[in-house]
Amino acid sequence: NHTKITEFLLVGFKSHPGSQLFLSVLFSTMYAITVVGNVCMILIIRMDSKLHTPMYFFLENLSALDICYSSVITPRATLIFSLDRRNISYNGCASQMFFFSLFGTTEAFFLAVMAYDRFTAICNPLLYQVIMNKRLCVFMVMASYLSGCINCTIQTGFTFSLSFCGPKEINHFFCDVAAVMHASCSDTLVNELVMLAVCGSIITGTALVVFISYGYIIITIVQMPSAESRHKAFSTCSSHMLTICLFFGTVFFMYAQPGATSSPDKSNTISIFYTIVIPMLNPFIYTLRNKEVKGSLKKQLKRKGFFI
């Protein structure tokens, strides 16, 4: 007979009690930077009419997504480390998994959409305004969220159809699919195959769009006649390439390879990068490496009296 589990215990990083305060301060600081940085990015884009272009429309939506993405994980993780409140209800765990999968999958599609936008701008500059019209941009954003919703419904539904009969510990600091699956007393082979097939196809598919787009972009940039035009074209997509490498590198390790559930300790550390670090770094990557955003920021600060 199996006892019905009503709550789980998130025991990620519990083996290092001396570092709990450090992790609490670190997570809360990174979350504050994430929210402030991405809100500032949204405000900069909203307040400058010169940035009302498809590229910055996607960047604004990415910033809003990163706030939601990080908010699903970081506040509760901070409570775990500061107050040692490691229990999470069964329904709360399912909800966290649902929204984390939703926002994480949507971000993968966003990065693919942004790569296609840069491909169109650099490889087909004369047709850019025609192709990347407002209707298509809104459609691609909505399609990204719809794809994320489909994936998170599949992952959450399959995972919580398993039996959980104890122990109720989840070796992670949030309800990740692989970690919850690892805590089940059911046979998880089918679930692992579903995760590998669905997540693997999403990650591989979006990564292919990204790499094919940037393959054509690099070829086009190399063929440009002047060094100035090559530098200008490369500067518009270099920040996006850095974000892509960080995101897809860590996510592929976590979800798109066989045996993803077999190394929970290693996944705890790696998952910090794509759940907390990358959403925090995105505003800095796009701001510090983008002349238009830096110029707009200086103009807004000068208007508010911060610069003379």
Judged by average pLDDT, the poorest of 125-129, 164-168, 225-229, 291-295 is 291-295
Q: What is the pTM of this model?
A: 0.86
Q: What mean pLDDT is reported for the chain?
A: 84
Count of alpha carbons within 13 angstroms of residue 274, beta-carbon side = 25
The pLDDT score that the predictor gives to residue 308 is 47
pLDDT tens digit string along 285-302?
877 666 777 777 777 767
Superfamily of domain 7-298: Rhodopsin 7-helix transmembrane proteins (1.20.1070.10)
The pLDDT score that the predictor gives to residue 20 is 79
The pLDDT score that the predictor gives to residue 185 is 84
Tell me, rounded to whole angstroms, the distance of Cα 67 from its chain centroid: 10
Q: Rounded to whole angstroms, how far apart are CA atoms 155 and 149?
A: 10
Which ranges constitute the DSSP H helices of 84-188? 90-123, 128-131, 134-159, 177-182
**What's the token pair of residue 231?**
């530098």
Instruction: Inform me whether the pLDDT recorded for 258 exceeds 70.
Output: no
Q: To 5 degrees, how large is the angle CA 217–CA 111–CA 275? A: 140
The pLDDT score that the predictor gives to residue 60 is 92
Q: Rounded to whole angstroms, how far apart are CA atoms 149 and 248?
A: 19
The pLDDT score that the predictor gives to residue 306 is 58
Average of per-residue pLDDT across 170-197 = 87
Helix (H, G, I), strand (E, B) or coil at 89: strand
Burial of 22 (0-12, 13-18, 19+ CB in 10 A): exposed
